[in-house]
Structure 1
């Protein structure tokens, strides 16, 4: 049986707890994770769901028998090679916005769904009225809420500030993470040791640091977490803004990991040439003729099969500056499921001070 966040079990909360604990129908070795930011009608569209949309999402999860589980417990189960409950899913929020408490938490509380909020601590400590208070968070903890790390100041973690050496940069970034870990324990009594990278950006040095500290990391590439996932850069499905449409969300919730044996991306950064990556599928029979990969802002990528299980995927054009991605899907052999994999690159401007793997010594 899965371990769950301890919270008050009353009314509908008790019902949801029982369904989570005893309503297991089949084994599942993957976990879709939904990513939200704002729950409000007046906040930026790209990072917002309205309260009505959020209600519709959670109603769908409940009505269709999805089992909303505690994120860290689910990830621990997968890493141990054990199965999750059938139709398991996790809910997360980035940034410590007050509207999560005002508009999202009442719905989560009513349904008894556990959830995780990745908090950036600076506006909380400054008592910014648009952000959560520690008392808000303590109340949310009683009903399945878990607060996790989103750094102090929400920086671009892979950018050096003006005049910084590599060593200065790395110490600053470590401090951004470790101070929040200390705050979570001091103010809330615990830390799940999970970090959502601001803007989804990380590099080898940061990911190695997280491994050293025993912290799980999350990017902003879409996809499903599986047993073989990189637990320093896990995917989530955005569920706000253009991605809040319930029909599109249904497809993502039924997705499963791409059965990958190896991924070659040539690093985290894009240059002046079109990006390319190579995927090697695990041994098995797949619907490889139906594999499709799409490049953000460009349409379909070109596919070159180097071997029956190995494909090179190339964008048609170079990326513009900023973040770009390739999303790949392939129908599963059984059921109405799609294998899903996504990768993100950053194309930096020189003046942005990005720490480039090939030019910096770690």
Structure 2
């Protein structure tokens, strides 16, 4: 079993004048803004407008992501109902169908770019000139690697050191281009497919970079800033009613959790959640396993629960989402964890491979 992943504990302090201010941030994740691209990663233009119109009418404060994360890390309050908007993959339809709506509403946003197709002039991807234009209206451009690889997979015959060098190039080459073409970098990375491991996260931390996975949840001061959560808002997650619940989510009040590592096997996964002390509705905690329904909960202590899947995950990425209503019943605490179940022909970086 992996070592516990510790989440720093402690109360957020603010003056009474800031009592309604927010010390956490939900972040929305989009890819395509188009009705004719793969549905799983797309939101249609009319759906995207519906989302943005709702944020405006409901009084959400769309914030600049780098600035908001700096404030959260420093323990400084965000506006009440703060939220951030992100896109992955630098598709041109973001510029054509999403940017006009964002500009109309005055919403800042972040696009994580994979520079390989951009540098090749691929017609489906943004150009540097378009990015420069978007920057003038609140756009921030960040790192999504050069070629959008599965970052934990080895190429045929590749050694561990060669893999490390390749991943360093995937990240550093984009940082160089951001600085060369736009004059700056926010030093943020979105992992392709949301996949990372402790080794990659440590490398990014040493470079002073912030990084994002694809597990759902809310960012606060005690989050792992090399593996931050976001809420997907495309495909079957584009439904506005379910999106409203996520926009009102809070970070799960955890001290730590254990998840047995990044990889799943032919055995069902489990994780242990250790809650902070406080007046929480722990009896209303519910966890859901992707493709399986509710997980089994076994309370080991008053503030410690084991979450058990009933079946093994199929090959690919699997997750467990846990939610719990707050005392008001108007918000849900939210936590998600992701595992990778590799097939026999996929050479993933594992502890065994590293030792060899």
Give the match for residue 290 of structure 1: 284
Structure 1 position 358, deviation (Å): 5.0
Give the match for residue 218 of structure 2: 224
Equivalent-residue separation in structure 2 for 1:82 and 1:269 (angstroms): 36
Whether contact under 8 Å (1:223, 1:340) holds in the other structure is yes
Equivalent-residue separation in structure 1 for 2:328 and 2:204 (angstroms): 36
Give the match for residue 348 of structure 1: 342
Write out aligned runs for 1:262-281 (5 A).
Answer: 262-281=256-275
Q: 3-state SS of the aligned residue for 1:168? A: helix
Structure 1 position 359, deviation (Å): 4.4
Q: Does 1:136 align with 2:159?
A: no
Structure 1 position 334, deviation (Å): 2.4
Q: Does 1:27 align with 2:18?
A: no
Q: Alignment partner for residue 305 of structure 2, among 311, 334, 355? A: 311
Whether contact under 8 Å (2:160, 2:353) holds in the other structure is no
Q: Does 1:207 align with 2:212?
A: no
Q: 3-state SS of the aligned residue for 1:75? A: helix
Write out aligned runs for 1:59-208 (5 A).
Answer: 59-208=53-202
1:259-313 Cα offsets, whole Å, 9 max, x none, are 0001101110001111000000001121111100000000010000001100000
Structure 1 position 335, deviation (Å): 4.6
Structure 1 position 35, deviation (Å): 0.2
Larger RCO, structure (CA 8 Å, separation 6 or more): 2
Q: Which runs of 5+ in 2 are unaligned?
A: 1-17
Whether contact under 8 Å (1:279, 1:311) holds in the other structure is yes
TM-score by length of 2: 0.94
Equivalent-residue separation in structure 1 for 2:77 and 2:33 (angstroms): 31
Moved over 3 A (4+): none
TM-score by length of 1: 0.92
Give the match for residue 228 of structure 2: 234
